């Protein structure tokens, strides 16, 4: 499933998948950085939000653009797992 690949991308990037139950998707945060959070739908669509205002600052679809957004907003040098390429 696409959302499972995106969970793997986030975890391999050192981010935390927030532990809650949802049929819609999941949320990703960096525990030591409270600037942004990312919500990922099971369909593969994602949105980056500012944590202080919940304002959406980026959105897209699929693992490649998700990885690029994680790199930009969480300042990751290289988060690419072998399976996301």
- Residue 68, judged by CB atoms within 10 A of its CB (0-12, 13-18, 19+), counts as middle
Tell which residue, 20, 76, 81, has the closest CA to residue 48. 76
The predicted-structure confidence for 39-77, as pLDDT tens digits, reads as follows 999 999 999 999 999 999 999 999 999 999 999 999 876
pLDDT (average), residues 5-29: 89
Quick: pLDDT tens for 25-35. Answer: 999 999 888 89
Asked whether 82 and 9 are in contact (CB, 8 A), the reply is no
């Amino acid at each position: 499933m696409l959302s499972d690949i995106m969970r793997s991308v986030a975890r391999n990037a050192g981010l935390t998948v927030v532990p809650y139950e949802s049929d819609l998707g999941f949320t990703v945060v960096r525990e030591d950085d409270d600037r942004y959070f990312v919500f990922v739908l099971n369909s593969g669509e994602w949105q980056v939000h500012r944590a202080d205002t919940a304002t959406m600052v980026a959105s897209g679809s699929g693992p490649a653009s998700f990885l690029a957004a994680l790199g930009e907003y969480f300042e990751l040098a290289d988060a690419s797992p072998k399976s996301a390429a």
